[in-house]
Amino acid sequence: MNTPQKPDLAKSAYRRKKIKDAALVLPLLGAFLLASPIITVFATDGYIFGLPLPFVYIFGVWMFLVIAARRLARLLSEP
Amino acid sequence: MLTFNTLLAISLGYVVMLFGIAFWAEHRANAGRLGWLRSPIVYTLSISVYCTAWTFYGAVGSAARNGLEFVTIYLGPTLVFIGWWWLLRKLLRIGRAQRITSIADLISSRYGKSTTLAVLVTLLAVIGSTPYIALQLQSITLSFSVFAEDGGNANYTAFWVAVGLAVFTIVFGTRNVDANERHHGVVTAIAIEAIVKLLALLSVGIFVVWGFAGGLPEIFAMASDNMLNTETIFTSRWITLTFLSAAAIITLPRMFQVMVVENADEKHLATASWAFPGYLLLMSLFVLPIAIAGNALLPAGSNPDLYVLTVPLNQGKDTLALFAFLGGFSSATSMVIIAAIALSTMVSNHIITPLWLSFSPSRTATSGDIRSVLLLSRRLSIAGILLLGYFYFRITGGSAALASIGLIAFAGTSQVMPSLLGGLFWRGATRSGALIGLSAGSFVWAYTLFLPSFEGAFLLSNSVIENGLFGISALRPYALFGLSDYDPLVHSMFWSMTINVFLFVTVSLLSTPRPLERIQSSQFVDVFRLNTEIGGYLVSRTATSEDLFTLAQRILGTNPAHRLFSDMALEQGKTSGLPDPTDDFVQKIERELAGSVGAASAHAMVSQIAGGGTVSVDELMKIADETAQIVEYSQQLENQSRRLEESTHQLRHANTRLTELGAQKDAFLSQVSHELRTPMTSIRSFSEILRETDQIDSEQAQRFLGIIQEESQRLTRLLDEILDLSHLESGRGNLKIEDVNLGEVVERSINSTRGLIAEAGVTITLNLPEKPVIVSASFDRLSQVFINLITNAIKYGHTENPQITITARAIGKLALIGIRDNGKGIPAKDFDKVFEKFARLSESALAGSAGLGLPISREIMRNLDGSLTLEPSKHGAVFRVSLPLAKT
C-alpha cells in the first residue's frame, strides 16, 4: 500500500469498487452468521477449551466482524 | 459496609468531577483548542451512551434469566455499524447538509418539512423515552438501596438525582441556541463516563473469572444447564431482538443526537464503525460469567439485575462494588443527559415553537428576542422531561424488570424505521405514507405492548388485556387476530411493523407528493450526488435583507447573525451593508435557522417574511417555464452559431475569391506592362536607330517609321481597350440604349470583318428569322461584340475548311444569338478562363491580340442586361449571346 510508484488508475478504481462491495457484504455476512438458523449448527452443547460452543461461536464471529470492519474502514478511508 | 451518606458523598464528588470536566472542555472549546475533544475516539466513546444502566445492570439480569439472549441487544448495533457505508454514512451526510437537529427533524424535513410528522415523531419519542428515563432513575435508586441498608427514601433519591441531572443538562446542554452546535462539555463528560462504565464492568468480570472462579472454563463449569440452553438460543425472539436493537441504534433520539448531531467530522464514523462494535464486545464479554457467578453465589430470589453490585459485595470487595456502582451511575446519567438534550430539542422545536408561532403569526417580525424564548422553552422541556420520567418512576413503582421496559421503548421508537429507511432510499416515499404508516404502527405498538405493560393500571383494563377490546377475542392485545403462540414482544413487533410497512408503502404508492416533498426527497436520496451547497428552492423574492437580519439576530444572536450576514455580503462582493436577499441567501438563512429551531419551524418563519415560500404549483410552473426558456434560448443560440458558421464559410469563400482576384489583378498588371512593353520596345529601338544612324536611306527610314506608327497604334488600341474595359467593369460605360435590328448589326459586323474572312477563306452561314428581331441595345457596342466573336472564331477556329454559322431567334422576351465555328473547340475546363483578361488559350493564340476581346464583350453584354456564354458543344466552339428584346 505504501509503495512509492503510482498505481494504475483503472486498477485502483476497480480495487476501490471491490472494497465498497465488501463494505456492503460484511453486514449481510454478519446478519447471516448471527441472526439466521446457521447459529443452531454451531450452538450445540459441546465445549471447546472448556468454553461452551455457542459462547465461542458468537464471540468469535463478533471479533471477526470487528477486525474485518477495522480493515475495511482503513481501506475505505484511503483517498 | 458503606453507609448511605458515604455513597452519597462519593456520588456527589463524582458529579462535581463531571461538572468540572465539562466546564474545562467547554472552556477549551471556546478557546478554540479542540484537540482530542473532537477525535474519533471521543466520538466512539460518546456513542456508547447506547449502553445505559439497562445494559450495565440489566444485561447481567437478562443473562441470568435467558442466557445468551442478551447479546442480541449488542448484535443489532454491531451489524448497523459494520454496515456504516450503507446507512450511517448517508444519515450523517444528510444530517450535515440539511442541518438536522433531531430524528423528528429528519423525518419532518424529508417529508416536505411537515410539522405534523415532526409532532408525531416527537410524541412517540417522548412516550418511548419516558419509561427509559424512569428506568435509569430506578437503577440508581436500586443501586443506592443495595449499599444503604439503613434505607434512605428511594423517592427522595430519585427526585434529587433527577434534579441534579436536569441542572447538568441545562447548564451544558443549552448553552447555545443552535441545537446543531456540538456540546463539547457534555460529550467529553459522556466519553469519560463511557470509560468508567467499561472499566467497571471489565473489573467486575475479571474479578469474577480469575479472582473468584480461577479461569473461564471454571466459571462456565458452574453454569446451570438452563443458562446455556442451546435449543432456545435461536428463536423468533432472537431475530426480533436483533432487528429491534439494530433499529433502536438508528432511531433512538439520544443515539441520533450523539451519532449525527454531535458528529464533528464524517471521518470519525469510519473509526467508530469498528471501535464501537469492539466496545460493545468488551462490554458483553463478562456478562455471562457475572450472571453465572451471581446465580451460584447468591441465594435464590436475589435480584439478578443487581448482580454486578451484589457479587463483589458478597465476596467482600467493597471498593470493586463501589467502582461498579460508579459504572452503573455513569451509564444511567449519561443516558438521561443525552436523552434530555435530544428530547428537549424536539419538544421545543416541533411542539412549543410551532404552537408559539401559530398563536402569534405576526410576532416573528415584531416581537422581542426569539432566542431567549427558544432557550427558555428548551430548558423548560428538559425539566419537564425529567419530571415526567420521575413521575413514571413513582407511578410504576419500579416493579417491572429492567430489560422489559427497555425493550418496550425500543419497540416504540423503532416504528420510525420504515419512514426513515424509505425516506433515505426510496424517492417515492410520501408524507401521507409516512404519516399513516407511522401512526398506525405506533398505535398497534401501544395497544399490543405499551399499554398492556401497565397491567391494567393505565387506559387498558385487565379484562381488555385478557379478553380483547369489547370482549372481541380477535382484539386481544397479546394475541391479535388469534396469533397467540408468540412472545408478546415478537407478537407486537410483527403486527406493528407489518401494518406500518404495509401502509407506508401502499399509501406512498397511491398518494402524490407535494412539490416541496419531491424536492426534499431528491435532496435526501441523492445526497451523495448533489452538491450540498445547492439545496432546496425558495422561490419568493419579496424578503428584505433587513427583515431577515432581524429574524436571524433574534434566533442566532446578534454576533453570529452579524457574522453570517457580513460573510454573505462579502461573498456577494459587497464590502459594506446587508447582502441582497437572493434565493441562495434566503435558503442559507433558512438552513442556519433550521439548526436552531428545526426545518419545519425555520421554513415557516422564513416563509412568513419571504412571503409564502412554500413552493406552489404556480411557482413550479414558473421554474418549469424558466427551464423551457433556457431550452429555447439554447436552441436560438444553436441556430445563431449555425448561421455564424455559414457566414464564416461564405466569408472564407469570399476571401479565397478575393485572393484569387488579387492574384488575377497582379497577373493582369504584369500582363499589361508586358503587353505595353513589347510595342514600346520596338518604338524605342526604331526611333533610336533613326536618330543615331546617319547613313540610313530614306526607303529604310520610311519602313522604320511605318513600324513605329503601327506599334503606336497598337499601343493606343491596347490602352483604349483597357480603358474601355475598366469603364465597363465599373458600370460607367454610358451605353446609348435604343431599339436595334439584330439583322442589321450582324450584317454590319460581317462587313467589318470581310477582309479577315476573305483572308482566312471562311464560309459564313447566316441563319436569321424572316421577321426582323428588334432588340434593346447599343448598335455600336453590340456590333463590337459580334466583331469580336467573329474575329475570335476566325482566329481560333482554323481548320481546312473553316465555317462560321450565325443563328438568331427570339424566345420569350429574349433574343438568342449563336456563333459557331467548326474548329477544334474549347475544352470544358477552360470555359471560365476564356473570359479572363489576357487569357490566351494554349499556344494557338495569335500574336498581336491583347486577349481583351472576350472580357470586353462579356462586360458589354452585362451592361446591356444580356449575357455572353460559352456553350458546351462536341464540334467547335459555340458562343451564345442573349439580350432583351425591345419593348413594343
Q: Closest chain A residue to B221 measured between Cα atoms?
A: A50
Higher pLDDT, B810 or B839: B810
Please identify among residues 4-63 of chain A the ones whose CB lies closer than 8 Å to any CB of chain B. Answer: 20, 23-24, 26-28, 30-31, 34-35, 37, 39-40, 43-45, 47, 49-55, 58-59, 62-63
Task: Give the count of Cβ contacts less than 8 A between chain A and B.
Answer: 111
Instruction: Kindly determine whether residue B281 and residue A44, on different chains, have CB atoms separated by under 8 Å.
Output: no
DSSP letters for B231-289: GGTSSHHHHHHHHHHHHHHHHSHHHHIIIIIS---THHHHHHHHHHHHHHHHHHHTHHH
Contact A76 B271 (CB under 8 A): no
d(CA A38, CA A35): 8
Q: Which of B127-131, B155-159, B482-486, B529-533 has the lowest mean pLDDT?
A: B529-533
Given B79, B85, B220, which is nearest A51 (Cβ)?
B220
Rounded to the nearest integer, the mean pLDDT of chain B is 81
Is B216–A65 a contact, with Cβ atoms under 8 angstroms apart? no
Do you know the residue count of chain B? 888
B407 contacts B241 by C-beta, under 8 angstroms = yes
Chain B residues lying within 8 Å of A43, measured CB to CB: 230, 233-234
Residue B502 and residue B444: Cα distance in Å, rounded? Answer: 13
Which of B78, B228, B239 lies nearest to residue A62, judging by beta carbons? B78
Is residue B613 very low, low, confident or very high in pLDDT (cuts 50, 70, 90)? very low
Positive or negative CA dihedral for B467, B468, B471, B474?
A: negative
Residues B364 and B607 sit within 8 Å (Cβ to Cβ): no
Judged by a CB distance cut-off of 8 A, whether residue A73 touches chain B is yes
- Whole-angstrom distance, CA of residue B522 vs CA of residue B110: 9
pLDDT tier, B609 (very low <50, low <70, confident <90, very high otherwise): low
Whether residues A69 and B68 touch (CB distance < 8 A) is answered with no
Distances (CA, A) of B2 to B12, B313, B319, B437, B443: 15, 10, 10, 52, 47
Q: For chain B, what percent of residues have pLDDT higher than 70?
A: 86
Dmax (CA) for chain B in angstroms is 170
- Asked if B460 and B452 touch (Cβ cutoff 8 Å), the reply is yes
Q: Which helix (H) or strand (E) holds B871?
A: strand B867-871
Do B285 and A59 count as a contact with CB atoms less than 8 A apart? yes
How far apart are the C-alpha atoms of B624 and B537, rounded to whole Å?
Answer: 13
Mean pLDDT for B309-338 is 88
Residue B191 parent element (H or E): helix B184-206
B269 burial (CB, 10 Å; 0-12 / 13-18 / 19+) is buried
**B489 near B445, Cβ under 8 Å?**
no
> Residue B455 pLDDT > 80, yes or no?
no
B629 min Cα distance to partner chain A (Å): 40
The string of DSSP codes covering B394-427 is: HHHTT-S-HHHHHHHHHHHHGGGHHHHHHHHH-T
Q: Locate the domains of chain A by residue range.
A: 13-77
The conformational region for residue B178 under phi > 0 = left, psi -120 to 50 = alpha, else beta, is beta
C-alpha separations of B400 from B138, B553, B618 in Å: 10, 49, 57
Integer Cα distance of B803 and B781 in angstroms: 25
Provide the mean pLDDT of chain A.
Answer: 81
Confidence of residue B207 (pLDDT cuts 50, 70, 90): very high
CB within 8 Å: A44 and B230: yes
Is it the case that residue B66 has pLDDT exceeding 70? yes
Does any CB of chain B come closer than 8 Å to the CB of residue A79? no
Nine cell digits for residue B864: 446591356
pLDDT recorded at residue B122: 92
Helices (H), B470-616: 488-510, 515-525, 545-556, 558-571, 583-597, 599-610
Q: How far does chain A reach from its first CA to its final CA, in angstroms?
A: 12
Please tell me the distance in Å from A76's CA to the nearest CA on chain B: 8
Looking up cell 392485545 gives B477
Question: How does residue B396 score in pLDDT terms, banded at 50, 70 and 90?
Answer: confident
- Band of pLDDT at residue B847, cut at 50, 70 and 90: very low
- In angstroms, the separation between the Cα of residue B626 and the nearest Cα of chain A is 39
Q: How far is CA A34 from CA A49, A71, B67, B69, B220, in A?
A: 22, 20, 16, 12, 22
- Per cent of chain B over pLDDT 90 is 15
Q: B242 and A35: CB-CB below 8 Å?
A: yes
Nearest to B87 by CA among B247, B316, B196: B247
Q: Could you list the beta-strand ranges (E) of B778-836.
A: 803-811, 814-821
> Per mean pLDDT, which range of B90-94, B280-284, B547-551, B708-712 is the poorest?
B547-551
Q: Which of B292-296, B475-479, B769-773, B865-869 has the lowest mean pLDDT?
A: B475-479
Backbone angles phi, psi at B153, to 5 degrees: -75, 120
pTM for this prediction: 0.65
What does the pLDDT read at residue B150? 56
What is the structure's pLDDT at B400? Answer: 54
Among candidates B433, B418, B137, B396, which has minimal Cα distance to B251? B418
Range in B2-11, B168-177, B426-435, B528-537 with the lowest mean pLDDT: B528-537
Length of chain A: 79
How far apart, in whole angstroms, are the C-alpha atoms of residue B697 and residue A69?
126
Residue B173 has pLDDT above 90, yes or no: no
ipTM for this prediction = 0.90
Q: What does the longest C-alpha to C-alpha distance in chain A come to?
A: 54
Predicted local distance difference test score (pLDDT) of residue B178: 63
- Which chain A residues are within 8 Å of B80, Cβ to Cβ? 27
* Choice among B401-415, B650-664, B768-782 with the minimum mean pLDDT: B401-415
CB contact under 8 A, A50 and B217: yes
Answer yes or no: do B238 and A73 touch at CB < 8 A.
no
Closest by CA to B80, choosing from B253, B242, B260, is B242
In angstroms, the separation between the Cα of residue A55 and the nearest Cα of chain B is 8
Contact between residue B590 and residue B536 where contact means Cβ atoms under 8 Å apart: yes
What residues have CB less than 8 Å from B797, skipping those under 6 apart?
B762, B804, B821, B822, B823, B876, B877
* DSSP H/E element including B532: none
| CA B202/CA B208 separation, integer angstroms | 10
- Rounded CA gap, B411 and B61, in Å? 20
Closest partner CB to A35 (pick from B84, B215, B238): B238
CA distance B877 to B866: 20
- Determine the Cα angle at B42 with ends B41 and B45, to 5°: 85
- Smallest Cβ distance to A30: which of B82, B216, B238? B82
| Inter-chain residue contact A52 with B238, CB threshold 8 Å | no
Instruction: Please indicate whether residue B195 or residue B526 has the higher confidence score (pLDDT).
Output: B195
The strand pair at B738-741 and B774-777 is best described as antiparallel
Per the DSSP assignment, residues forming a β-bridge with B817 are B808, B881
Interface contact A68, partner B, CB < 8 A: yes
Per-residue pLDDT tens digits for B225-246: 767 766 667 788 888 889 999 9
Please write down the HEC assignment for all residues of B196-224.
HHHHHHHHHHHHHHHHHHCCHHHHHHCCC
B68/A55 Cβ within 8 A:
yes
Residue B420, pLDDT score: 93
Domains and CATH numbers, chain B: 4-418 (1.20.1730.10), 539-615 (no CATH), 619-729 (1.10.287.130), 738-884 (3.30.565.10)
Average pLDDT over every residue of B827-831: 74
Buried b (16+ CB within 10 A) or exposed e, B674-691: ebbebbeebbeebeeeee
Taking an 8 Å cut-off on Cβ atoms, the answer to whether A58 and B273 are in contact is: no
pLDDT tens digit string along B102-139?
899 899 888 888 888 899 999 999 988 888 888 888 88
